[in-house]
């Protein structure tokens, strides 16, 4: 049985940029344990010399000519239409750097 | 007025001036007003857009050449709320996108609009298309129109219900692991999951990109075929799409050699509800009676379908949902619902350092084995007849506490997504409780014409008459 504990769940949540409450961690831990235990069944399948499948189209290297198709470009206004946090035509994002305080 | 149930009837009525397109829209809107409070199939009703289009159609009808290029003229359509519609709110059934209004429409929406379809609204669905019951929407569950205590199936729940309850003539959904075929099955309508790569996903909110397909719902096989023929083909915006060329399966429908249907013994091995099983056996009997050969086949890796699907799908989900950070559009990641969080975390786990080889890479290899099973089967037969869901429709809330139990129910549908093959959900008969039953036909890649033909001859043999639930 694969054991997933609350720390594992917190770690995965952090990797996925999700902030979970303690109640959620408590709920998800047994659920994910059960699911991961179940999907671990795959280890019993012999896959020696089997190529992995990542897609089923059989297509390779689909390219298009390197030209601008104006019909498929959003205007700056359209691109910004989904946010209330715009400034001078840019998206406003939370600061990730702060001023040094030890100077 | 009595609403028509097929595209053909609709167009005949319009041409013979039995009704106008505006009157059609009047009627569908009044059906929605009357029924949808109890069903919760629509998240947005696009009354203004519908009237505008209806007036355009009424005016264009006078021109003789209008019809040739407009296969769907007058057909009222509802889009799953995963399809971007310019200027009309698109939520994916999630609170993350509660006020998101797209700046463009996707290819399928554009093609349907150009073909003369009238958009009536956007339909409810399990948030981000995560679910098989329609209960995972952040906007409340959709109800089954045959009995409101029961689930309609998911994730394209609202699209199936809109058609089944006569609130839209046709509708469009997505199928990543069964999300068109399952609700079609539970609501008693026809549903198609096409070959992967037959229809562009441009402008459809992605769930799992190596599995996602655009599917359609209607009351008849013919209507689903018409929608498929209208929206398929390359658009230059989805690199997985190639132009449709019907596959040459073992025997072509019209050639002298007989069509053979396969029955996979693994599909009847256990866990299948008796009533569903008896219904499929009845369908097989009817196929035999009309001269179709039926042959037992084996798909030995069937029991690994669900584990492979949940690894591949959740990995791709965690990656696709990574972009929803609330900066450019939508709300923050704290607004994801429980099922989306579960799948994002499962996907992140199977892709994370130390687990990738044991889970994700392993699943991709077993996926190859599953595809090989189907390839072997299709070297002997033209199509597979299979259950869609292991049980008849179940009550709302009955299974929602145990995610794994719900996941296991994808065993009959997810294989087609892993292999990229088409599946047609065909309604047939009702359970003792009066809820719809049916079966699905699976065929090799690009074998849609064979599936449509098999569906049509079946419905003809049983004298199937489309009807709405309420």
Segment-wise mean pLDDT, segments of 10 residues, chain B, 470 residues: 94 94 98 98 98 96 78 97 98 98 97 97 98 97 98 98 98 98 98 98 98 98 98 95 71 62 94 96 97 97 98 98 95 97 98 95 98 98 98 94 92 98 97 97 97 97 94
Dihedral angle over CA of B18, B468, B412, B355, nearest 10: 90
Q: How far does the CA of residue A87 sit from the closest CA of chain B (Å)?
A: 12
Does residue A14 lie within any of the structural domains? yes
Return d(Cα B208, Cα B457) in angstroms, integer.
34
* Burial classification of residue B135, based on how many CB atoms lie within 10 Å of its CB (0-12 exposed, 13-18 middle, 19 or more buried): buried
Nearest Cβ partner for B359 among A15, A39, A54: A39
Q: What is the ipTM of this complex?
A: 0.93
Given an 8 Å threshold on Cβ–Cβ distance, is B364 in contact with A32?
A: no
**Chain A contact for B352, CB < 8 A?**
yes
Does residue A57 lie within any of the structural domains? no
**Residues B421, B443: contact at Cβ < 8 Å?**
yes
Return d(Cα B407, Cα B317) in angstroms, integer.
15
**Nearest residue of B to residue A55 by CA position?**
B210
B155 has catalytic annotation: yes
**Residues B316, B347: contact at Cβ < 8 Å?**
yes
**Chain A contact for B323, CB < 8 A?**
no
Chain-centroid distance, C-alpha B447: 17
Number of other CB atoms surrounding residue B146 within 10 Å: 22
Return d(Cα B416, Cα B196) in angstroms, integer.
9
Q: How far does the CA of residue B266 sit from the closest CA of chain A (Å)?
A: 17
> How high is the pLDDT of residue B63?
76
Residue A2 phi, psi dihedral angles, 5° rounding: -70, 125
> How high is the pLDDT of residue A3?
77
- Here the CATH number for the domain that contains residue B92 is 3.90.1300.10
B80 has catalytic annotation: yes
What interhelical angle do B221-231 and B7-15 show, nearest 10? 80
Does residue A73 lie within any of the structural domains? no
CA angle B436, B387, B450 (to 5 degrees): 100
Given an 8 Å threshold on Cβ–Cβ distance, is A51 in contact with B363?
A: no
Chain A to chain B Cβ contacts (< 8 Å): 147
**Residues B135, B154: contact at Cβ < 8 Å?**
yes
Does residue A88 lie within any of the structural domains? no
**Residues B421, B386: contact at Cβ < 8 Å?**
no
- The residue count of chain B comes to 470
* Burial classification of residue A72, based on how many CB atoms lie within 10 Å of its CB (0-12 exposed, 13-18 middle, 19 or more buried): exposed
> How high is the pLDDT of residue B444?
97
Nearest Cβ partner for B368 among A39, A52, A64: A52
Q: How far does the CA of residue A83 sit from the closest CA of chain B (Å)?
A: 5
Does residue B467 lie within any of the structural domains? no
Given an 8 Å threshold on Cβ–Cβ distance, is B239 in contact with A32?
A: no
* Burial classification of residue B233, based on how many CB atoms lie within 10 Å of its CB (0-12 exposed, 13-18 middle, 19 or more buried): middle
Number of domains into which chain A is organized: 1
Residues 43-82, chain B: which have Cβ within 8 Å of A? none
Nearest Cβ partner for B404 among A38, A51, A54: A38
Catalytic-role residue among B179, B216, B220, B249: B179
**Chain B contact for A95, CB < 8 A?**
no
> How high is the pLDDT of residue B121?
98
Query: Would you list the DSSP string of B83-123?
Result: B-BTTB---TTSGGGTT---SS--HHHHHHHHTT-EEEEEE
Return d(Cα B145, Cα B152) in angstroms, integer.
8
Does residue B365 lie within any of the structural domains? yes
Q: How far does the CA of residue B457 sit from the closest CA of chain A (Å)?
A: 30
Q: Is B71 helix (H, G, I), strand (E, B) or coil?
A: coil
**Chain B contact for A50, CB < 8 A?**
yes
Given an 8 Å threshold on Cβ–Cβ distance, is A15 in contact with B308?
A: no
Residues 8-47, chain A: which have Cβ within 8 Å of B? 8-9, 12-13, 15-20, 24, 27-28, 31-32, 34-36, 38-43, 45, 47
Return d(Cα B129, Cα B180) in angstroms, integer.
10
Return d(Cα A46, Cα A71) in angstroms, integer.
49
Query: With contacts defined as CB-CB under 8 Å, which chain B residues touch A8?
Result: 349
Q: Is A6 helix (H, G, I), strand (E, B) or coil?
A: helix
Q: How far does the CA of residue A57 sit from the closest CA of chain B (Å)?
A: 6
Residue B233 phi, psi dihedral angles, 5° rounding: 105, 160
Given an 8 Å threshold on Cβ–Cβ distance, is A83 in contact with B342?
A: no
Nearest Cβ partner for B404 among A13, A34, A74: A34
**Which contiguous run of DSSP H or E holds residue B439?**
strand B436-442
Return d(Cα B448, Cα B227) in angstroms, integer.
12
CA angle A65, A71, A73 (to 5 degrees): 85
Does residue A34 lie within any of the structural domains? yes
B94 has catalytic annotation: no
Cβ contacts of residue B177 below 8 Å, gap of 6+? B132, B208, B211, B309, B313, B410, B413, B414, B417
Instruction: Find the domain containing B334 and state its range.
Output: 7-462
Does residue B469 lie within any of the structural domains? no
Nearest Cβ partner for B352 among A12, A31, A45: A12
Does residue A84 lie within any of the structural domains? no
What interhelical angle do B305-320 and B362-378 show, nearest 10? 120
Number of domains into which chain B is organized: 1
Token duo for residue B398 = 């009955």
Instruction: Flag whether the pTM goes above 0.90.
Output: yes
Does residue A70 lie within any of the structural domains? no
Beta strands in B128-281 (DSSP E): 170-175, 190-193, 213-218, 260-264
Query: With contacts defined as CB-CB under 8 Å, which chain A residues touch B329?
Result: 81-83
Query: With contacts defined as CB-CB under 8 Å, which chain A residues touch B420?
Result: 55-57
**Nearest residue of B to residue A53 by CA position?**
B364
Strand arrangement of the beta sheet that strand B293-297 belongs to = B42-45, B118-123, B76-80, B170-175, B213-218, B190-193, B423-430, B436-442, B383-386, B260-264, B293-297
Number of other CB atoms surrounding residue B457 within 10 Å: 17
Token duo for residue B109 = 């929406």
**Chain A contact for B359, CB < 8 A?**
yes
Does residue B249 lie within any of the structural domains? yes
Given an 8 Å threshold on Cβ–Cβ distance, is B333 in contact with A42?
A: no
**3-state secondary structure string across B329-353:** CCCCHHHCCHHHHHHHHHHHHHHCC
> How high is the pLDDT of residue B247?
65
Return d(Cα B155, Cα B428) in angstroms, integer.
21
Return d(Cα B220, Cα B213) in angstroms, integer.
20
Token duo for residue B365 = 């290899």
Does residue A80 lie within any of the structural domains? no
Test the B interface: residue of A23, A34, A35 with most B CBs within 10 Å: A35
**Nearest residue of B to residue A9 by CA position?**
B345
**Residues B372, A55: contact at Cβ < 8 Å?**
no
Instruction: Find the domain containing A38 and state its range.
Output: 6-44
Does residue B2 lie within any of the structural domains? no
First to last CA, chain A: 54
Catalytic-role residue among B155, B156, B157, B425: B155
Task: Provide block-wise average pLDDT over 10 residues at a time, chain A (103 residues).
Answer: 86 96 96 96 97 93 88 91 94 88 78
């Amino acid at each position: 049985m694969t054991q997933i504990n609350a720390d594992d769940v917190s770690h995965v949540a952090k990797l996925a940029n999700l902030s979970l409450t303690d109640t959620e961690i408590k709920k998800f831990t047994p659920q994910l344990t059960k699911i991961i235990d179940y999907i671990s069944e795959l280890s019993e399948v012999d896959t020696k010399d089997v190529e992995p499948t990542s897609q089923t189209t059989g297509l390779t290297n689909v390219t298009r000519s390197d030209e601008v198709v104006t019909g498929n470009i959003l205007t700056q206004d359209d691109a910004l239409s989904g946010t209330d946090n715009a400034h001078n035509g840019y998206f406003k994002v939370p600061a990730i750097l702060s001023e040094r305080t030890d100077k | 007025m009595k609403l028509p149930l097929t595209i053909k009837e609709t167009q005949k009525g319009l041409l013979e001036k039995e009704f106008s397109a505006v009157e059609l829209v009047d009627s569908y809107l009044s059906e929605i007003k009357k029924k949808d409070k109890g069903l919760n199939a629509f998240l947005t009703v696009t009354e203004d857009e519908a009237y505008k289009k209806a007036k355009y159609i009424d005016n264009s009808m006078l021109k003789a050449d209008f019809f040739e290029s407009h296969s769907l003229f007058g057909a009222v359509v509802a889009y799953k709320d995963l399809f971007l519609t310019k200027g009309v709110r698109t939520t994916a059934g999630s609170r993350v996108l509660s006020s998101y209004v797209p700046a463009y429409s996707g290819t399928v929406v554009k093609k349907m609009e150009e073909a003369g379809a009238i958009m009536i609204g956007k339909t409810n669905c399990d948030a981000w298309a995560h679910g098989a019951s329609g209960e995972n929407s952040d906007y409340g569950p959709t109800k089954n129109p045959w009995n409101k205590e029961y689930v309609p199936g998911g994730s394209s729940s609202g699209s199936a219900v809109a058609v089944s309850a006569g609130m839209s003539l046709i509708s469009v959904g997505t199928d990543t692991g069964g999300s068109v075929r399952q609700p079609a099955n539970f609501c008693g309508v026809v549903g198609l999951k096409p070959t992967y790569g037959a229809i562009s996903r441009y402008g459809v909110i992605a769930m799992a990109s190596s599995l996602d397909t655009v599917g359609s719902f209607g009351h008849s096989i013919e209507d689903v075929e018409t929608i498929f023929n209208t929206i398929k083909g390359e658009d230059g915006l989805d690199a997985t799409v190639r132009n449709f060329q019907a596959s040459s399966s073992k025997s072509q429908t019209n050639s002298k050699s007989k069509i053979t249907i396969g029955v996979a013994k693994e599909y009847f091995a256990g866990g299948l509800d008796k009533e569903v099983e008896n219904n499929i056996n009845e369908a097989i009997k009817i196929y035999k009676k009309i001269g179709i050969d039926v042959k037992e086949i084996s798909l030995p890796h069937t029991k690994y379908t669900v584990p492979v699907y949940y690894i591949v799908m959740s990995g791709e989900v965690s990656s696709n949902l990574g972009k929803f950070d609330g900066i450019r559009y939508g709300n923050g990641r704290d607004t994801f619902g429980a099922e989306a969080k579960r799948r994002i975390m499962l996907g992140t786990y199977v892709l994370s350092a130390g687990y990738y080889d044991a889970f994700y890479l392993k699943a991709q290899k077993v996926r190859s084995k599953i595809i090989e099973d189907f390839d072997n089967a299709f070297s002997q037969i033209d199509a597979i007849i299979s259950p869609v869901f292991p049980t008849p429709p179940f009550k709302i809330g009955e299974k929602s506490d145990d995610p794994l139990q719900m996941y296991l129910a994808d065993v009959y549908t997810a294989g087609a997504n892993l292999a990229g093959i088409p599946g047609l959900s065909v309604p047939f008969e009702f359970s003792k409780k009066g809820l719809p039953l049916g079966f699905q036909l699976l065929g090799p890649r690009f074998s849609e014409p064979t599936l449509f033909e098999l569906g049509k001859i079946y419905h003809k043999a049983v004298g199937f008459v489309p009807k709405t639930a309420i």
